[in-house]
Amino acid sequence: MTEPQNTDVMGDESMSSGTTTSSLQAVVYSVNQIQRARDLLAKFYGARKTILFYASDHPASEATVAGLFDALDRFFREGVDVEIALYESELHFGQQFLPEESVIFDQLIRDLMALGVGSIVFRRGLTMSELSRGISIMATDPLSASVAGGLSRMFTEADVTNIAVGTIKALRSIEKSELTPEDARASYDDAIGLLREVDNLISRNRTVNGAMVRGSVRSLVDNVVSNRYAMLELAGLKSYDEYTYYHCANVAILSLALGSTLTQDSRFLVALGTGALLHDIGKMSISLDILNKPGPLTAEEWTTIKNHPVAGAIQAASIPGLDKAALVIIHEHHQRYDGNGYPAVMNSRPQHLASRIVAVADAFDAMTSRRAYSSARTAVESMQVLAESGNVALDPTLTRLFTLIMGIYPPRSVVRLSDSRVGIVMHPSANDLLKPVVKVITEQDGTMIEGHAVDLSAESQLAVTAVLDPQDLNIDVGDYL
């Protein structure tokens, strides 16, 4: 019997019951197991097709389900679940991308994606009758499945507990113009959830599923490209307790906003987003006592902190399928434009363009965040600091470009207008960086109102006269956006 290569999955209680969405934990199959994937997929295709034409209790259906069950059971007896993931037109078996099977089973992939399926896990403990019910459900037409509340609900109602389907937004082909602010929020929340799970897996020395990271990043890319300012408004969200997760998600959005003005090449943007989202994973294994220490660090603590780009790159290298450029970004994000920074640069190799982009985004988000050892600057102050740091720490061309995207008054800035009303900046206007589009939230006498958008560049009498601290006004900016 072939020994499964992955022992992480074995004994993991979270994988043994329930109909949750796909696990972030990697499944890495042996060569022998991967070679059997095509046979298993053919049997899955055949069983679904047969049930589609006959009732599930027809002898022909029973025979094809039994054949599929035998193929699955062989994996179960080897101690692994069977995980199939769909990424656009790509079919993955665990961590392994199967290029030939992606073509051979194109119809199966399309049928499953039409049902909203991004991944399927067949778990140990599955019975033949459960498999038969599960395949019948997966043979439902998309409209009926939607009316019935989706496959997960149908599985629950049919007591199918050992087949889990995951719906992954990025796996569906989404027309970019269809993306809404709600999609932007879902993408942001997905990234935060992913980072929590990455932290959890790293702390347990488990391998992270690269396809899931790519799915989250792809969703961020799609949303930033199509809905930049909805995403940039979200990139102002902060969490003191979960600083690293929010910081990493924000840096990913800011980096993608900057990177997507240079190129729309999806491979570059996915690598950029991945490196940005994971740029600080090396900090996830550092004690919070050190990360949040209010006073000066000891030499030993400082050495630990300075090692996080190297530790992070090593951790990311263990995630199967990540673009190598993402590892470079993680390694280089604290290097500086002038060649200083850490870790020390070998052979005067210039910092990679993607690393320089992330460095700008990292600096901006860090400055606007409250930490134990420093208070938060306003976004406006931070933009000024960035503008002054060009040519030394940061690439001056990129900082200028960043200013054009963010405006002099970045999204979420609270400003007083020349007629005394208060507004929250939504985004810069197309033709005047000093006159952004704002949501006006007070009357002239200070009375709070529900808020409406005003493009200051179209109002010759109106201008920004001051930047305000939302805490002084006792408002939560998020309530108005």
Contacts to Fe ion by CB under 5 A? 280
Shortest distance in whole angstroms from residue 251 CB to Fe ion: 9
Shortest distance in whole angstroms from residue 173 CB to Fe ion: 34
Shortest distance in whole angstroms from residue 369 CB to Fe ion: 12
Residue whose CB is less far from Fe ion, 218 or 333: 333
Shortest distance in whole angstroms from residue 248 CB to Fe ion: 9
Residue whose CB is less far from Fe ion, 234 or 330: 330
Shortest distance in whole angstroms from residue 163 CB to Fe ion: 40
Shortest distance in whole angstroms from residue 287 CB to Fe ion: 16
The Cα–Cα gap between 474 and 253 comes to: 27
Residue whose CB is less far from Fe ion, 197 or 280: 280
Residue whose CB is less far from Fe ion, 83 or 280: 280
Crossing angle for the helix pair 37-53 and 106-114, to the nearest 10 degrees: 60
Residue whose CB is less far from Fe ion, 160 or 251: 251
Q: Where do we find the tokens 């995951």?
A: 166
83-122 burial string, b = 16+ CB within 10 Å, else e?
bbbbbeebbbbbbbbbeebbebbeebbebbbebbbbbbbb
455 DSSP β-pair partners: 437
The Cα–Cα gap between 138 and 49 comes to: 10
* Structure-token pair, residue 97: 């991308």
CB-based contact 376:412 (threshold 8 Å)? no
Shortest distance in whole angstroms from residue 362 CB to Fe ion: 6
Residue whose CB is less far from Fe ion, 48 or 356: 356
Shortest distance in whole angstroms from residue 308 CB to Fe ion: 6
Rg for the chain (alpha carbons), in Å?
25
Residue whose CB is less far from Fe ion, 229 or 243: 243
Helix (H) or strand (E) run with residue 68 in it? helix 59-77
Shortest distance in whole angstroms from residue 357 CB to Fe ion: 14
Residue whose CB is less far from Fe ion, 126 or 311: 311
The Cα–Cα gap between 191 and 187 comes to: 6
Shortest distance in whole angstroms from residue 300 CB to Fe ion: 18
Ranges assigned E (strand) in 186-225: none
438-454 burial string, b = 16+ CB within 10 Å, else e?
bbbbbeeeeeeeebeeb
CB-based contact 231:223 (threshold 8 Å)? yes
211 CB contacts (<8 Å, ≥6 apart)?
85, 87, 92, 95, 321
* Structure-token pair, residue 291: 């990360």
Q: How long, in residues, is the chain? A: 481
Query: Distance of CA 313 to CAs 109, 248, 275, 282, 316, Å?
Result: 33, 15, 9, 7, 5
83 DSSP β-pair partners: 121
CB-based contact 59:52 (threshold 8 Å)? no
**Which residue's CB atom is positioned nearest to Fe ion?**
280
Residue whose CB is less far from Fe ion, 19 or 244: 244
Residue whose CB is less far from Fe ion, 310 or 473: 310
